[in-house]
A and B are shown apart, each in its own frame.
Chain A
Amino acid sequence: MTTVASRIVRSSPHRSTSATWECIVELLTQGKNDAARKELLAVEGVAASIISDKAPQDSAIVVSCDGPQTRVYCLYDEAALDESDAKEDALGYEPLKGNWAVSLPCTEADLAWVQRSLKAKSSRITARDMSTKLREAEDTTSSAKPLTIDLKAFLGS
């Protein structure tokens, strides 16, 4: 069962494509985790290219780890100017805890070279076709509820 949190980052023209990726890296590394920061910044050009294609507008950058999953979307053009549409506040957990991985959305035309380029730089950062549907997010409140056996129903069955 996966708990999911989302963040919405203002991209071009509020921030450049490179600055957008650097903002996402800050959000994920929370000012620490030097090794992860280095690995994420090593793919800045590829990520910025994907951001310039507006792939993360409707298809999330998915960050998985031993804790909750984080989905990051980007705002563009007029929407990027409006602060109220964004959600860039710090996450209340470590989004790169333990065995982390990042999946970047990508246009079909770019997928082959992006996958090849990422593979040469990182084993944790991969790309997927942006039209691939993500699994529905689990409701965090229901997943947190403890379960117990309904003895009456069990014995009566």
Chain B
Amino acid sequence: MSAVAVYSYTQSVTYVADNILKSLKDIILMGGLDPDKLVGEWTVLLRGISKWIESRHLEFVTLEIFDPANDSLIRRWDIAMVYAWDMDAGTFWTDTDQLRFALKKAGLSPSQAKYRVLVKNKDGQPAVEGWNDTKFRSTDGFVKQSLGTTIEHNGLSATTGYWRAT
């Protein structure tokens, strides 16, 4: 007799949302910054990201690394959602090696750099406590590098890319 685990959509959402935050923590830490600010916001971030993946409004989560002296972008990471959930897919994984390799290539952030996490949702998103409207910093003069899929759970997946100055 053999058995296979059957995951619900909500369980896939939990897996992907948790691993988006873990990936952000790894990016911040491996980029030479302190994850303390991220973990201070962990509960609110997880609440919003989970809710908007569940409702399929979340397009991507962004980590902006910026220079507080002139408020300009230093580097930006995007983790974009792909909604192809299939109960029968039966696969899940998180590729931290790919992130590690990209971070090595991207190099450390300057020690004075600050960061913030923001999201881009489709119109009609349900409201989540602790989130406000904001604007992205300009990516003029930046080019995007794609790493492909880094998180997947039963077809619900996230692709990662980063913007670097040209």
Contacts and interface: CB of A to CB of B under 8 A. Distances in A.
Q: Which of A13, A14, A109, A110 has the most CB of B within 10 A?
A: A13
Contact of A78 (B5, B35, B39, B42): B5
Given A44-B43, A81-B7, A117-B39, A13 B22 contact: no
Q: Which of A46, A52, A53, A77 has the most CB of B within 10 A?
A: A52
A46 B39 contact: yes
A11 B35 CA distance: 22
A151 to B, nearest CB: 60
B39 A49 contact: yes
Contacts of B21: 17, 48-49, 52
Interface size class of B (residues with CB under 8 A): 20 to 34
Contact of B35 (A16, A49, A120): A49
B18 A113 contact: no
Q: Which 4 A-B pairs have the closest CB atoms?
A: A45-B39, A45-B42, A13-B11, A52-B22
Interface residues of A, number: 23
11 contacts: A13-B153, A16-B50, A17-B18, A48-B43, A49-B25, A49-B42, A78-B5, A81-B7, A113-B29, A116-B36, A117-B39
Interface string A110-135: 10010011001000000000000000
Interface in A73-107: 77-78, 81
A48 B52 CA distance: 20
Contacts of A17: 18, 21, 42, 46
Given A52-B22, A113-B29, A12 B35 contact: no
A109 B25 CA distance: 12
Interface of B is mostly: helix
Contacts of B43: 18, 44-45, 48
B71 interface: no
A52 B17 contact: no
Contact of A113 (B35, B46, B92): B35
A48 B15 contact: no
A53 B14 contact: no
B19 interface: yes
Nearest to A116: B36
Contacts of A44: 42-43
B12 A48 contact: no
B5 A53 contact: no
A77 B92 CA distance: 9
Interface in B23-41: 25, 29, 34-36, 38-41
